[in-house]
Amino acid sequence: MARKILLSEKSVFVRKTSGLVRPYDAKDTVLIYTLIIFSILNTTLQFPWFFGFWPGADLVGALAVAMIPMGLLMICYWAIALAMPRSGSDYVWFARITHPSIGFAWSLVYYYMLLVIGPLTVCFTYGFTISISLVAWGTLYNAPGLVAFATWLNTPDGTFVFAFTLVCIYCAFAILGHKLGKALLYTGWVIQVIALILMWVIMGTSNPTIFAQKWDLLMSNYTTYQAVFETAKSGGWVLAPITLGATVSSVTFTFMLMSGAAQGAGTISGEIRNVNRSIPLALLFSNLFAFIIWSISALAEINATSYNWLVALSWMWDNGVNYPLPWPPSMPLMLGILTYPNQMLTLVALGTFVLANIAFAYILIVTVSRYFFAWAFDRLIPTKFADVSARFKTPHWALVATWLLASVTAYFYAYVGFSNFFAAGSTLMVLCYAVLACTVVVFPFTKWKTLLDQLPTFMRKRIGIPVISWVGLVTAIFLFYAAYAVTVNPLLTGTAAPLTAYLFGSIFILGIVIYFASKAYHASKGIDIGLIFKEVPPT
């Protein structure tokens, strides 16, 4: 017995240090968090989704309202990242504040949700963005071969091949170290700034009259600008006045648009220098920058096309009623029309729109893979996944595992349906954040309450209970309501609701089984992994 206890104490963690380095300073962290929230890629179809499914909602207003629950969630993640600044910090937190089996099961669900709604969605959307950009160019400038290739790229075969190729490339880049990754990050941001300025200037200096003339010249084979209103009305569309109620009801969608910074704070905190300064700055500025960028981009498109016209076209596309075009009403299509007949301007606008996204999937793959590393470090899965490359200082086997799961899921994503997986992942995202907020509520009343001293003073102050508990409670209420609202949203009809239940239930149960199987296996080797969860992993 004495030998077993001694072995448990010596071998409880895989090693005395994580083996990871801290390559990211405050500026890097702000750029990473902001990129997770916003990439110009996201403007491809998010605006038509919003305007078509939430009649009477004001997008900028809904983004502003979403900043309330998002701000509360950011305070929760601020506390988590400061209390336990490790890779996979929200898993490390959850598994220690609650029972390890529950924490691991939660993180397994959250990991798969991030994999689906993060790098996979980006890879598939990236393929679609390239496809629709090529369609726009080929249609405007009479290149049928380009249109044919772009059409194939948007088929299940094309989307799978493209997404699989991107996942392979970005996982390889992630293994090759932080220097390559930071070069990709900064290059992507330089191109993205150029693309955004071009988009804002092109749309901001146009107006509906100019746009209507170009639309009628190029798209009259399908419909004229004015006919969009008539066709939509014949299908039952009525322009809804903008109201506060409609705007508030759409916040579930805009919350999802603004939710990326939490992923950064919950995954790579162990690789950020000076977390006490970098984390709060990154959480604050990433959300502020993303709000500004989202708002200007939406207002620019409305300025160029007109709100009423964009809503009418979006409504027909979203609801499948009398939609006249063979392609969605995407941002690249609108840019292509506005820049016609200047081929060079069209090339630069669409080219930078596509190239601006080169770092997006890379960052998402890097962050998501850290859960495999954290689980292995706690011995819940084979410790091989906690190995760190001596040369590149990256968890290469954790990245390989993420590549494998992403590749398998990509197949189902392509052939089962993009929208179903995205909808299910979106619902799981809100649920995961709501449950995590509950752990913040109880944190000051657990044995880990001594970590309160590491938090900012305002979080420790008591109003009956510590302020951080009140923040967690209000956040949980907001997000549980948001999860309910997402499940009854028209975006999530069809097979999305049962798919969400199947995913959540099966993955959660799998997590419980894996935990107890791992506990039994290590017990047979003389290692009590229960001791792991009595302390924070080493840095």
User: How high is the pLDDT of residue 514?
Assistant: 96
**Quick check: 10 pLDDT over 60?**
no
Q: Look at residue 462 and give its three-state secondary structure.
A: strand
**What pLDDT does residue 479 have?**
87
pLDDT digits (tens, 9 = 90+) for 458-467: 999 988 899 9
Query: Could you count the other beta carbons within 10 Å of the beta carbon of residue 222?
Result: 14
* DSSP single-letter state for residue 370: H
**Between 190 and 424, the higher pLDDT residue:** 190
Which pLDDT band, with edges at 50, 70 and 90, does 142 fall under?
A: confident
The residue length of the chain stands at 539
- DSSP string across 62-92: HHHHHHHHHHHHHHHHHHHHHHS-SBTHHHH
DSSP, res 258:
T
Residue boundaries of the structural domains of the chain: 30-76+87-103+114-534
DSSP element (H, E) containing 184: helix 178-204
Average pLDDT over residues 235-259: 88
d(CA 215, CA 139): 12
The answer to whether the bond into 328 is cis (omega within 30° of 0) is no
Q: What is the mean pLDDT of the chain?
A: 88
Q: Which residue has the tokens 């909602």?
A: 57
Average pLDDT of span 4-21: 62
Q: Is 322 left (phi over 0), alpha (psi -120 to 50) or beta?
A: left
317-344 average pLDDT score = 91
Residue 482 near residue 257, CB atoms below 8 Å: no
pLDDT at 357 over 90: no
| Whole-number Å distance between alpha carbons of 259 and 69 | 10
Token pair for residue 153?
Answer: 């790229």
Q: Which of 172-176, 327-331, 471-475 has the lowest mean pLDDT?
A: 327-331
Homologous superfamily of the 30-76+87-103+114-534 domain (CATH): Amino acid/polyamine transporter I (1.20.1740.10)
pLDDT at 490: 56
User: Is the per-residue pLDDT at 1 higher than 50?
Assistant: no
What percentage of the chain has pLDDT greater than the value 90?
A: 58
Is the confidence at residue 336, as pLDDT, over 50? yes
According to DSSP, the residues that pair with 465 across neighbouring strands are 463
pLDDT tens, residue by residue, 36-89: 888 888 888 889 989 988 889 999 999 999 999 999 999 999 999 999 998 999
pLDDT digits (tens, 9 = 90+) for 265-297: 889 999 999 999 999 999 999 999 999 999 999
Segment (H or E) for 172: helix 156-175
Decide: helix, strand or coil at residue 466. Answer: strand
How many Cβ atoms from other residues are within 10 Å of residue 463's Cβ?
Answer: 8
pLDDT tens digits for range 112-138: 888 777 777 777 778 888 888 888 888
| Torsion sign over Cα 153, 155, 159, 165 | negative
Summarised one tens digit per residue, pLDDT across range 481-514 is 877 766 665 545 554 556 666 777 888 999 999 9
- CB crowding 518-538: b at 16 or more within 10 Å, else e: bbeebeeeebbbeebbeebbe
Burial bucket for residue 133 (CB in 10 Å: 0-12, 13-18, 19+): buried
pLDDT of 421: 59
Summarize the confidence of residues 425-435 as an average pLDDT: 81
CA distance 152 to 125: 15
d(CA 365, CA 243): 39
- Reported as a single tens digit per residue, the pLDDT across 182-192 is 999 999 999 99
For residue 11, the model assigns a pLDDT of 52
DSSP letters for 461-479: -EESEEHHHHHHHHHHHHH
User: What per-residue confidence (pLDDT) applies to 496?
Assistant: 53
Distance CA 149, CA 135 (A): 9
Count CB neighbours of 226 within 10 A.
12
Which strand (E) or helix (H) includes residue 463? strand 462-463
Above 70 in pLDDT, residue 445?
Answer: yes
Compute CA distances 50 → 129, 253, 375, 393, 534, whole Å.
18, 8, 37, 42, 45
pLDDT at 331: 93
Q: Give yes or no for residue 9 having a pLDDT over 80.
A: no
pLDDT in the model for residue 500: 64
Q: Angle at CA 255, nearest 5°, toward 253 and 258?
A: 115
Torsion of CA 435, 441, 444, 448, to 10 degrees: 0
If pLDDT is split at 50, 70 and 90, which confidence band does 426 have?
low
Whether the per-residue pLDDT at 4 is higher than 50: the answer is no
What is the amino acid identity at position 535? E
pTM over 0.95: no
Nearest alpha-carbon partner for 69 in 422, 471, 339: 471
Q: In a 3-state reduction of DSSP, which class is residue 264?
A: helix
